[in-house]
Chains A and B, each alone.
Chain A
Amino acid sequence: DAGVTQSPTHLIKTRGQHVTLRCSPISGHKSVSWYQQVLGQGPQFIFQYYEKEERGRGNFPDRFSARQFPNYSSELNVNALLLGDSALYLCASSSPDRGSGNTIYFGEGSWLTVV
C-alpha cells in the first residue's frame, strides 16, 4: 500500500506570494494533520482534519489555511509568505481506529524556501 504522498517535494517562492501544498493520506485513513518543521527543531502542529472538518488548529496565523476533500486528500495554503515560513511541511494521516492510539504516519514532506 502507498504511504502518505505529498507534492510538490521542493519549491521556492518569493515573499508575499501564495503557496498550496497537497497531501494524499494512506488508503483508509480519514484524518489528516499538517506540521511545520523548521530546520533544527521538532515538527509543530498546524491543523488536524477529520471527515472534511477542521478539528484542531495550532498556534499559526490566519495566513495558514487548509481543507480536506471528499476523498480525504488535503491542501495546505499559506498566503503572504514570509521568510520565516521557510520550512519542511509535513502531512500525516491516521487510522480511525482509536485502538491504534491514533498513530500518525508522515509523508516525505514539502520543502518550502521563501526568498
Chain B
Amino acid sequence: AQSVAQPEDQVNVAEGNPLTVKCTYSVSGNPYLFWYVQYPNRGLQFLLKYITGDNLVKGSYGFEAEFNKSQTSFHLKKPSALVSDSALYFCAVRDMWGTSGTYKYIFGTGTRLKVLA
C-alpha cells in the first residue's frame, strides 16, 4: 500500500533562514508525490509535484522539493523563510488502481511550520 510519513509535527525556523520540511514515502511503482499548504481555517493549496524528470522540483511561493529515490524522500525546502510561510504543510502520494483511472491521494499527518521574526 502507498503511504507517506512526515516525521516532524512542528518545525521552527527563524525568518531569513533556510527551511526543510521532511517527507518519506513508500510506494509500489513510480511515485507521484505532492506538497500542499493549509493556512488556518482554509482549504489546501497546491504547492508542487513530482511525477518524473528532474529530482529538484520548483513550485509556488519560492518553494522547491527534492526527490531522492534511494532515500525514498521528498523533502520540501525554501532558501529563505518568511513569517507568512507559517502554516500546516502536507505531503501526499497518489494511489491509482483499476483500469479506469481511479485514484486517491494519501496524505501525511502534516507538519506545522512556524517562522519566527
Binding site for B on A (CB under 8 A): 4, 6, 33, 35, 41-45, 48, 50, 55-56, 58, 88, 90, 98, 101-109, 111
Contacts and interface: CB of A to CB of B under 8 A. Distances in A.
B80 to A, nearest CB: 26
Contact of A42 (B42, B101, B110): B110
Interface in B31-64: 32, 34, 36, 41-46, 49, 51
A45 B109 CA distance: 14
Nearest to B32: A101
B32 to A, nearest CB: 5
B78 interface: no
B77 interface: no
A41 B109 contact: yes
Interface of A is mostly: strand
A41 B107 CA distance: 9
Contact of A101 (B41, B51, B110): B51
Contacts of A33: 104-105
A102 B101 CA distance: 10
B44 A45 contact: no
Given A50-B101, A55-B102, A90-B44, A101 B107 contact: no
Contact of B49 (A35, A55, A101): A101
Contacts of B97: 56
B74 interface: no
Contacts of B98: 55-56
Contacts of A4: 43
Contact of A104 (B51, B96, B105, B110): B105
A6 B42 CA distance: 12
A58 B104 CA distance: 9
Contacts of A90: 43-44
A67 B91 CA distance: 28
Nearest to A94: B103
Contacts of B106: 45
B105 A108 contact: no
B28 interface: no
Contact of B107 (A43, A55, A88): A43
Contact of B104 (A50, A56, A98, A107): A56
